[in-house]
Each structure stands twice: as C-alpha cells, then as structure tokens.
Amino acid sequence: MTLIKSALKGLSYTGAALGLSALLTGCVSSARTQATEEAFPPVGQFADVTGGRVHYVQKGSGPHVVLLHGAGGNLRDFTFDLVDRLADDFTVTAFDRPGLGYTDRVPQVETGPLATDGDSPADQARMLREAATQLGIENPIVAGHSFGGIVAMAWADIGLGEEAPVNASGIVSFGGVLMPWPDDLGAYYTVNGSPIGGAVVIPLISAFAPLSTIEGAVEGIFAPDPVPEGYVAHIGAPLAVRQETFRANVRQVNTLRPHVVEMTTRYPQLTLPIEILHGTADTTVPDFVHPIEFVKIVDSARLTSLPGVGHMPHHADPQAAVDAIVRAADRAGLR
C-alpha cells in the first residue's frame, strides 16, 4: 500500500505540474494574442457568410481582381504594395482566407485542439465566392499566391459546374500550388498537424516563440530575395502564431495533397486564361513540380519564369505581377 500511495502521490504531483504548466501556457498565449490583435487589428471590412465572417479590403475601380494570400499569411501581404499598384485600373478585393487573418474557418470543419481536419481548397473557395457575391464582384480575375494559388484554381474548378456571375474570368498564380508533390511535408507540418501537436506543441509555440524566430521564418519564405523594408511590420507576422490561426494553417497544408490530386483530374477542362508567375529559385513550391507540369495539361496556361527569384515573385518583381494580371484581363476581354 505504501508503494501504491507513493506512486499515486507522484502521479498527483506530476498531474498538478502539467496542469499548472498548461494554465501558464494558456494565459501567456491568450495575452500575446490580445496584444497582437491590438497591434494589428482588421484593416478592412467584413462580409457575413454562411457560418461566419470574411475579412476583406476593397479599393479602386474597373474590372474586378480578387487576391488570395498564401499559407500563414493574411491580406496585408497584398495591401503592402500590390493593391495600390492595381487600384487605378481595377477594382481590387483582397480576402483573408478562411482560418487566417480575421476570416472565420469554414463552418463544417472541426476546430478543437485534437482535431486534424483542414479547410479544403474547394470549401475555402465556396466561402469566399459567397462573400464575393455579396460584394457584387463579377467575372473576376482571381490571383493567388502559394496556397492561395490552389484556392484560386478551386474557384475556377467550381465554375466548371456552376453558372454564376462570380465565376472567374481568368486565373493568375504567383508561386502557386498547382500540382501534387512527390514527398511528405516534413516534421513541421506532420507534427503540428497531429492531435498532439494541436494540443501541446502549438500552444507552446504560440505562447513563447520569439519575434526573432517569426522574422527568421519570413526571411526564409523570401529567400534568396530580400524581405522588403517595412514588410514584417506591415503584415503583422505574429498574427500567424495565434493558436487558432496556427492550427488552421498547418491543418490546411497537412491535408492539402489529396485535394490537389483530385482537382488535377479536371484541369484539362479549364479553358479560361491562366497566367503563372513563378521564380526558378523557389524551393517552397518548386517550378519543376508545379507550373512546368501544369502547363503540360492545361492548354490555356502560360508560364512566365523569373530567373533566380524565390517564393515571393509578386514582391521580388511587383511590375511583373501587375503585368500578369493585365495579361489575364486582356485575354479574358475585360479591358
């Protein structure tokens, strides 16, 4: 009995320590989230859609352009520079994708700490299409960066079976995910996208990851190109490590590949103009995996390669990004 009591006492102390640790982590994470949201509040307006709200910024006049940001990002990636470059010639709407920035997650997706489901590209596109419909957006050029690229493709894919004013008249991909990749995503996504990662690892990162680590991650995304001066302060990079945002992002990426595989079966049916701007030095979404293979099966796709440019082509060469959108609009007969 003495051994049993000692064991039980030890377990009680261990449980208490773990409980206190979890409480401390939760308090620190909550305080940090509040401070982050005070420092980087919503910069746009909200559209109420089925099951939630979509955060957007809209500016300019003319044919409609929709901008969809990449993994871990938010619409500030586009308000840093590209929105203003386009607003003289287009009505530009930048959305926070579901689960990121200040847009709610797709309503049917389980969001608890132990869940592993991600918001599929199609479900994200449907949620954003509903918001776009409310805003009166018609025949848009839909441009997406990185993960936003596959959501843009899902937007077009939905249009294959649905006649709607909000259907895309053209697609532009900036370093976008387009095709299935051959390897797994590595420990970062597999661990953080797992139940243990969602319940234990992400709260720790959310609470204690230093700003220098977050800034280093941004530098890695841009490499080998430099991060534009003022970009980190503008985008509100700490927004990405809020617990719910972090969970949404890793789960979306971790569960993405099967959706891409399924979408590729319908790619040959796409006939709308597709312009692709992709850096040859992109190691996050390599050109030889994505656009080079994509253009082999989609006749309407045109690839513009940027030699030596990494994963952020719309920042490395913003005029090339504008030119790609203009080409898509011209090919679609919008100008």
Give SS3 for 141.
Answer: strand
Structural domains of the chain sorted by starting position, each given as residue range(s) with its CATH number in brackets: 45-179+255-331 (3.40.50.1820)
Residue 183 confidence (pLDDT): 80
Find all residues with CB under 8 Å of 262, minimum gap 6, and list them: none
3-state secondary structure 199-262: HHHHHHHHHHCCHHHHHHHHHHHHCCCCCCCCHHHHHCHHHHHCHHHHHHHHHHHHCCHHHHHH
Evaluate if residue 81 carries a pLDDT over 80. yes
How does pLDDT run across 156-211, given as a tens digit for each residue? 999 999 999 999 999 999 999 999 999 888 888 989 999 999 999 999 999 998 88
Helix axes 121-134, 147-159, angle to 10 degrees: 70
Distance CA 202, CA 216 (A): 18
Distance CA 264, CA 249 (A): 22
- The structure's pTM equals 0.92
* Contact status, residue 63 vs residue 329, Cβ threshold 8 Å: yes
How does pLDDT run across 95-148, given as a tens digit for each residue? 999 999 999 999 989 999 999 999 999 999 999 999 999 999 999 999 999 999
What are the start-end ranges of the H helices in the chain?
Answer: 2-39, 76-79, 82-86, 121-134, 147-159, 187-192, 195-196, 202-208, 211-222, 231-235, 243-254, 257-264, 291-297, 313-316, 318-331
Torsion on CA atoms 255, 257, 262, 263, rounded to nearest 10: 100
* Contact status, residue 141 vs residue 65, Cβ threshold 8 Å: yes
Distance CA 326, CA 335 (A): 8
* Contact status, residue 206 vs residue 243, Cβ threshold 8 Å: yes
How does pLDDT run across 13-25, given as a tens digit for each residue? 333 333 334 545 7
Evaluate if residue 1 carries a pLDDT over 60. no
Q: What is the mean pLDDT of residues 247-273?
A: 97
Cα–Cα nearest to 98, from 117, 83, 118 = 118
* Contact status, residue 225 vs residue 315, Cβ threshold 8 Å: yes
Give SS3 for 123.
Answer: helix
Name the DSSP letter for residue 198: I
Within its chain, how far is the Cα of 246 from the centroid? 11
- Would the CA dihedral through 303, 308, 309, 311 be positive or negative? positive
Cα–Cα nearest to 242, from 210, 202, 189 = 202
Largest interatomic CA distance in the chain: 85
How does pLDDT run across 303-314, given as a tens digit for each residue? 999 999 999 999
